[in-house]
């Protein structure tokens, strides 16, 4: 619908669903946005636009109402669209956007397993990735491996201290900051096989130990992500970038001779002139590039790869980092408007109303893998996709372990399973169901069919607005409509059995495709009944 109107009007069109269905299926305020440009009243513009549609197969009515354009889709169009969707299920809600996008997300330090905070950005990023893929974008999911700097040195020290205390039986004194957790045991035992025990008492080799160990940590991270149905196309190591720093720095100076300057034996980027709070150090007194320098090289590399658009998903604590990276992108001669940085807020976890206790085996964090083990990957993915990513999220594990209508993922899954159960009770063949017409449905069935066929609009809107929570919101609403329809309408054994079962096939398709775009597989059978009151 939005693509059809975009083609007609030559611009993006905001679509709304009227609360009162008697006004039609869609409404748009486009006349108000055109008023200044055309120097006419929105009411007059809406009337002129409505008359421009004339007779067509898509709409049974295009009506101007107080400056709005209201659209009602024709029964023939909905019937044919439903049939096309059922016959072309792999293409349902797809488009051919074509543009190339580089999406970077997670990018957690390779110093330990992912914690629950990382999971939110991971789910958000992967859901965006799936939506973009479905819309036809040529999108690459990338993980930036922060394998340089103090955190890597600390990994080597932490493994050595763990081994000396727990394997060699020594009394050790831990520094204020170090990594802890059961994962260190596997790394320590692996280090013995590779280097021998002597490495743990040789501080000069801790860097070597750390660089070897970070690959083992990345295996843990990628395995945990895989268990959440999240996979990456490419990985870029921070440690590989710094050799390109001199060239990149010269490139910035060539674009703007004032981009880089020296002060107090340090090299600075003039990021304040580009909107940052202050200028930032990119090379320390001892000549070592800072973390920001690595990020500058990385973003230069991104743009040199020639994508049309670049998206970063960072933790909310990186908010202040955005303007300095944008400044660097401008100094490199690129358009910073092609770089979009989205933030993922923190997560607060409860269990039966009480703060969730940190895992002893994890050290001082709540491991993502622990929560997946407790409530399953589907529930975790649904939770983290169900609220706007830049707002705080609090949830109670107990709610998502319930097998009833209070658990939204159960509620949606049961809607899909319920349809399969109804279909299994029918004696009609698939051919008989598919040949039925969806014209002349009653009002409730007509509303359910329209809602089911709305998925393409939801997919496009969820991606373009970067608000992936619109997809689970839609699926919850569609599941609620299906359950209500089931209780209000007898299906098996009625004169309308074939057409109503065909309608249910359309609903099942939207539920199945919508869940798949969240990285969740729809279930065909569930043993527990949803409460009738739901």
**Average pLDDT estimate for 402-428:** 94
pLDDT of residue 359: 57
**Average pLDDT estimate for 357-373:** 75
Residue 263: in which H helix or E strand, if any? strand 260-263
Q: Which has the closest alpha carbon to 228: 340, 380, 93, 99?
A: 380
Mean pLDDT over all residues of the chain?
92
Of 5-19, 81-95, 156-170, 295-309, the poorest mean pLDDT is in 5-19
**Average pLDDT estimate for 375-397:** 93
Of 44-48, 52-56, 142-146, the poorest mean pLDDT is in 52-56
pLDDT of residue 351: 86
How would you class 20 by CB atoms within 10 Å of its CB: exposed for 0-12, middle for 13-18, buried for 19 or more?
exposed
Residue 363 has pLDDT above 60, yes or no: no
How would you class 147 by CB atoms within 10 Å of its CB: exposed for 0-12, middle for 13-18, buried for 19 or more?
buried
For 2-73, CATH number?
Answer: 3.30.1360.70
User: Band of the pLDDT at 534, cuts 50, 70, 90?
Assistant: very low
User: Band of the pLDDT at 80, cuts 50, 70, 90?
Assistant: very high
**Average pLDDT estimate for 409-421:** 96
**What percent of the residues of the chain are helix, what percent strand, and what percent coil, each to the nearest 5?**
55, 15, 30
Calpha distance 266→285 (Å, rounded): 5
Calpha distance 70→356 (Å, rounded): 49
Task: Indicate the class that CATH gives domain 402-534.
Answer: mainly alpha
pLDDT of residue 352: 86
Looking at beta carbons, which pairs linking 357-363 to residues 24 or more positions away fall under 8 Å?
361/181, 361/182, 362/113, 362/115, 362/181, 362/182, 363/112, 363/179, 363/180, 363/181
Tell the residue number behind the tokens 């996008």, with chain if given: 101
> What is the pTM for the complete model shown?
0.91
pLDDT of residue 530: 53
Residue 67: in which H helix or E strand, if any? none
Terminus-to-terminus CA distance in the chain, angstroms? 31
- b/e map 410-434, b = 16+ CB within 10 Å: bbbbbbbbbbeebbeebebeeeebe
Q: What is the pLDDT of residues 248-278, one digit of tens each?
A: 999 999 999 999 999 999 999 999 999 999 9
Domain coordinates of the chain in residue numbers?
2-73, 150-227, 402-534
Structure tokens at 379: 């529930």
pLDDT of residue 24: 81
Q: What is the pLDDT of residues 458-475, one digit of tens each?
A: 999 999 999 999 999 999
Of 18-32, 189-203, 388-402, the poorest mean pLDDT is in 18-32
DSSP state of 533: T
Q: Which has the closest alpha carbon to 56: 6, 96, 2, 4?
A: 4
Calpha distance 146→109 (Å, rounded): 5
For residues 503 and 397, which has the higher predicted lDDT (pLDDT)?
503
Structure tokens at 5: 């109107």
pLDDT of residue 358: 63
- Per residue, the 3-state secondary structure of 100-113, as one string, reads EEEEECCCCCCCCC
pLDDT of residue 254: 96
User: Band of the pLDDT at 197, cuts 50, 70, 90?
Assistant: very high
Beta strands in 121-204 (DSSP E): 138-145
* 482 SS3 class: helix
pLDDT of residue 41: 92
pLDDT of residue 16: 83
For residues 525 and 364, which has the higher predicted lDDT (pLDDT)?
525
Beta strands in 76-122 (DSSP E): 100-104
* 289 SS3 class: strand
pLDDT of residue 532: 43
Q: What is the pLDDT of residues 272-299, one digit of tens each?
A: 999 999 999 999 999 999 999 999 999 9
Q: What is the pLDDT of residues 121-178, one digit of tens each?
A: 999 999 999 999 999 999 999 999 999 989 999 999 999 999 999 999 999 999 988 9
Phi then psi dihedrals of residue 458, to 5 deg: -65, -45
**Average pLDDT estimate for 313-341:** 96
Of 393-402, 422-431, 465-474, 497-506, the poorest mean pLDDT is in 393-402
**Average pLDDT estimate for 60-68:** 87
Residue 360 has pLDDT above 80, yes or no: no
């Amino acid at each position: 619908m939005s693509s059809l109107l975009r083609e007609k009007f030559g611009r993006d069109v905001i679509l709304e669903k009227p609360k009162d269905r008697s006004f039609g299926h869609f409404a748009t305020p486009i006349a108000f946005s055109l008023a200044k440009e055309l120097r006419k009243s929105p009411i007059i513009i809406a009337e002129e636009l409505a008359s421009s549609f004339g007779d067509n197969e898509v709409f049974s009515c295009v009506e101007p109402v107080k400056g709005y354009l209201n659209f009602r889709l024709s029964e023939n169009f909905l019937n044919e669209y439903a049939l096309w969707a059922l016959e072309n299920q792999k293409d349902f809600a797809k488009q051919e956007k074509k543009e190339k996008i580089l999406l970077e997300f997670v990018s957690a330090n390779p110093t330990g397993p992912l914690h629950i905070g990382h999971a939110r950005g991971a789910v958000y990023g992967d859901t965006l990735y799936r939506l973009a893929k479905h819309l036809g974008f040529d999108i690459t999911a990338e993980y930036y491996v922060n394998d340089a700097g103090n955190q890597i040195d600390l990994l080597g020290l932490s493994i050595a201290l763990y081994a000396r205390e727990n394997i060699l039986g020594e009394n050790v004194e831990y520094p204020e900051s170090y990594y802890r957790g059961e994962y260190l045991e596997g790394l320590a035992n692996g280090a013995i096989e590779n280097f021998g025990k002597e490495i743990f008492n040789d501080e000069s080799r801790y860097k070597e130990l750390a660089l070897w160990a970070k690959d083992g940590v990345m295996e843990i991270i990628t395995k945990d992500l895989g268990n959440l149905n999240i996979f990456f196309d490419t990985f870029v190591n921070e440690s590989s970038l710094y050799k390109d720093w001199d060239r990149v720095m010269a490139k910035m100076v060539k674009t703007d001779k004032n981009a880089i300057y020296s002060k107090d034996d340090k090299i600075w980027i003039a990021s304040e002139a580009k909107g940052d709070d202050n200028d930032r150090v990119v090379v320390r007194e001892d000549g070592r590039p800072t973390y920001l320098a690595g990020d500058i090289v990385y973003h230069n590399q991104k743009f040199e790869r020639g994508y049309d658009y670049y998206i970063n998903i960072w933790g909310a604590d990186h908010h202040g980092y955005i303007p300095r990276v944008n400044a660097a992108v401008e100094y490199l001669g690129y358009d910073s408007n092609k770089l979009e940085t989205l933030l993922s807020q923190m997560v607060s976890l409860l269990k039966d109303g009480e703060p969730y206790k940190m895992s002893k085996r994890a050290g001082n964090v709540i491991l993502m893998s622990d929560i997946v083990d407790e409530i399953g990957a589907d529930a975790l993915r649904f939770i983290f996709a169900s609220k706007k990513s830049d707002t705080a999220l609090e949830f109670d594990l107990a709610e998502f372990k319930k097998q009833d209508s209070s658990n939204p993922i159960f509620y949606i899954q049961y809607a899909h399973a319920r349809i399969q159960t109804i279909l299994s009770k029918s004696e009609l063949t698939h051919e008989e169901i598919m040949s039925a017409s969806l014209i002349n449905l009653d009002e409730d069935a007509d509303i359910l069919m329209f809602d089911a066929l709305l998925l393409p609009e939801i997919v496009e809107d969820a991606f373009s607005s970067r608000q992936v929570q619109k997809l689970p919101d839609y699926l919850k609403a569609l599941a609620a409509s299906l359950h209500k329809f089931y209780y209000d309408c007898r299906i098996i054994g009625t004169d309308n059995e074939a057409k109503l079962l065909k309608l249910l096939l359309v609903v099942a398709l939207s539920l199945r495709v919508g869940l798949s775009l969240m990285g969740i597989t729809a279930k065909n059978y569930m043993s527990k009944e949803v409460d009738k009151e739901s």
